[in-house]
Amino acid sequence: MATPAMAQARDCTEGQTRFIADSPPALSRLAASRAWTMSTGRGVVVAVVDSGVAAANAHFPKGSVLPGKSFVGGRATTDETGHGTAIAGVIAARDIGEKSGVVGLAKGATILPVKITGGAPTGDEEQQRSANLAKGISYAVSAGADVINLSLSTTSNRPDVRAAVASAVKAGIVVVASGGNRDQSAEAKDGPRYPAANPGVVGVTAADARDVVTQSSIHGPQVDLAAPGDDILTTFRAWGDCVFSQEAQSSSYATAYVSAAAALMRERYRSASPAEIAYRLEATASRGSRTVRDDVSGWGVVQPYEAMTAVLDETVAGPVAPGATPRVTPPPQVSAIDLTPARDPRAGDRTTVLWLLLGTGASVLALAMARMLRQPQRS
Domain locations in the chain? 18-309
Q: Is pLDDT at 379 greater than 50 in this prediction?
A: no
CA distance 311 to 63: 35
* Listed residue (131, 115, 128, 136) closest to 52, CA to CA: 115
168-179 tens-digit pLDDT: 999 999 999 999
35 pLDDT band, cuts 50/70/90, is: very high
Torsions phi, psi for 125 (to 5 deg): -65, -40
> 18-309, which class in CATH?
alpha beta
CA 55 from chain centre, in angstroms, equals 28
Segments in 201-273 forming alpha helices (H): 251-268
**pLDDT score recorded for residue 80:** 94
d(CA 221, CA 378): 104
The residues, any chain, with a CB within 8 Å of residue 146's CB and separated by 6 or more, are 44, 45, 46, 172, 173, 174, 263, 266
Residue 186 has pLDDT above 90, yes or no: no
Indicate the pLDDT class of residue 326, thresholds 50, 70 and 90: confident
- pLDDT value of position 350: 66
Q: pLDDT tens digits, residue range 114-137?
A: 999 986 555 567 777 888 999 999
Does 343 have pLDDT greater than 90? Answer: no
Q: Is the pLDDT of residue 332 over 60?
A: no
Whether the CB-CB separation of 27 and 52 falls below 8 Å is answered with no
- Give yes or no for a contact between 167 and 148, defined as CB atoms under 8 angstroms apart: no
243-282: per-residue pLDDT in tens? 998 878 999 999 999 999 999 999 999 999 999 999 999 9
